[in-house]
Structure 1
């Protein structure tokens, strides 16, 4: 009997975190297969994974060619046998009941394309850095404590364009739709997940689950922290989907551009000689979306430049 869910996990030199991530998948009380793609690890992961595969009939280990996370996920997708696919990174953790909750939701609504959940951020030292949804003001305004699930249909679909609120390790999606969308774009150096979610909007509705079911590890050497590549991919995706998103909601482009400008400002802020370029980008973000968050970021950067560090620290 084929599994109901194919869980896709790419990994590269992640042996310190891999066992806990795998345990969090195999402890889910659903019929699943776990497809792990070792994308050229050199930390002993291959030996550990071979032992794991020998012990579990529902674990499949594939060898990637170190082409990146998108290629690894696409390789796993080509082997997936489940009606649904769920993703998890090798340094993330699922909480009990995650897949069961999403599976129940999808089985009750066969037309639903994708569901995703809130998640917790943790530092490498275990500090709680807050939940995802609350970091995204445009999306979060649609939620209230009493709203347990939010269906993203019609105009609300553009919330995903305005802010990339979907954590890949929280997603469950119909396998058929993933294949129709041709998986992840391997030419993108970053944000290939956001690009895929935007393409999948053409196949039906999404549901956001206003409950945390995943722990996301914020690592100092994370691939997602490569700012310049991330910004270039961000800009490419922004323009790629501008027309179809504006047809749904003419006002969605400005918040998306503001998010791009904030990312550019934060990148300039940490570069030598980037103070004034950061101010320009912060001003552009405020022009596109003059909310408290953007104005506060601009003022904070101005103060850092105008007030000596010693005075700011009270010395």
Structure 2
């Protein structure tokens, strides 16, 4: 019996990458039942290209929206499918051939679980590997010998290890959580995973089953919007984790460090130092002390 899996791909002007993403879906050793590509206001020929692809691939569906953003685009696809499970893929990422199969084999034996994610590899535009996600997060290392196993929701609060393109989630659980919050300017995926993880068991798989493209020319202001959104999300969920203060402090440290790095890039060294000290207050580490020292030197040196 074919698994009831729907693949959801939001795309905005990603025709340079979308064919490769879809090709990784067609090459899955375990096929999905249907695929929805949400063309979110593209003007690069995506709409026309999708029409030709739909004649080749009967499982492919598309919907044209007008710049509603990733969260609303994903919600639209979820509302259109009747599949039991949703697998998310960003238009510039690709799956390894056994990605869906590896998750399905685990989930059929864990009927209480509603969310499963895998490790993934950061790659540059030349296809060269940079670092896998799980190795990037130091506290998550203690989970690795236990995987595949359930991951506690407080760990997902402390470290946002979930890559959206690695997620397979139960549609019912997504709907119960209200889907992706379109009011958030960014990081709505992190909040949705937190909501589901608080209600259902979550499983992590240690193998890299996805390649995440590190595209050049990231917009600095988008990073600030994400940090602001993460702060709002943490404020929303912090009361539910009052029994796990270490997780809250880790999340605060991560956000404050992000602000410190952003302000340092803007050459606002005084504000960067404030956030670096906040990060140290939340979670002490020797590298943070060294960063604070360098910021103090930069702040003094930049004065007229």
The question of a shared fold, defined as TM-score above 0.5 by the shorter chain, is answered with: yes
- 2:223 is aligned, of 223, 227, 235, to 227
Answer whether contact 2:114 2:200 (CA < 8 A) is retained: yes
2:91 maps to which residue?
90
Q: Whole-Å Cα distance in 2 between the matches of residues 217 and 31 of structure 1?
A: 23
Q: Whole-Å Cα distance in 2 between the matches of residues 82 and 74 of structure 1?
A: 14
Deviations 1:67-101 (A, max 9, x none): 10000000000112221100000000100101001
SS in 2 for 1:252: helix
Q: Does 1:176 align with 2:172?
A: yes
Change beyond 3 A, Cα 1:157–1:298? same
- 1:237 is aligned, of 227, 233, 236, to 233
Deviations 1:122-146 (A, max 9, x none): 12233322111111112223324xx
The within-5 A match list for 1:40-79 is: 40-79=41-80
TM-score (norm 1): 0.90
Q: Whole-Å Cα distance in 1 between the matches of residues 125 and 301 of structure 2?
A: 32
RMSD of the alignment, in Å? 2.0
Unaligned runs of 5+ in 1: 309-315
**In the comparison of the two structures, how many residue pairs are matched?**
301
Q: Whole-Å Cα distance in 2 between the matches of residues 304 and 150 of structure 1?
A: 45
1:271 maps to which residue?
266
TM-score (norm 2): 0.93
2:194 maps to which residue?
198
SS in 2 for 1:86: strand
1:311 maps to which residue?
none
Deviations 1:239-297 (A, max 9, x none): 000010223x232211111111101101100114x111111111110111002443343
1:150 maps to which residue?
149
2:156 maps to which residue?
160
Answer whether contact 2:153 2:198 (CA < 8 A) is retained: no
Answer whether contact 1:11 1:38 (CA < 8 A) is retained: yes
Answer whether contact 1:21 1:92 (CA < 8 A) is retained: yes
Q: Whole-Å Cα distance in 2 between the matches of residues 228 and 51 of structure 1?
A: 38
Deviations 1:176-210 (A, max 9, x none): 11111121000111100001011112321101111
Q: Does 1:133 align with 2:134?
A: yes
Q: Whole-Å Cα distance in 1 between the matches of residues 129 and 83 of structure 2?
A: 34
Q: Whole-Å Cα distance in 2 between the matches of residues 2 and 63 of structure 1?
A: 28
1:5 maps to which residue?
5
- 1:186 is aligned, of 182, 189, 192, to 182
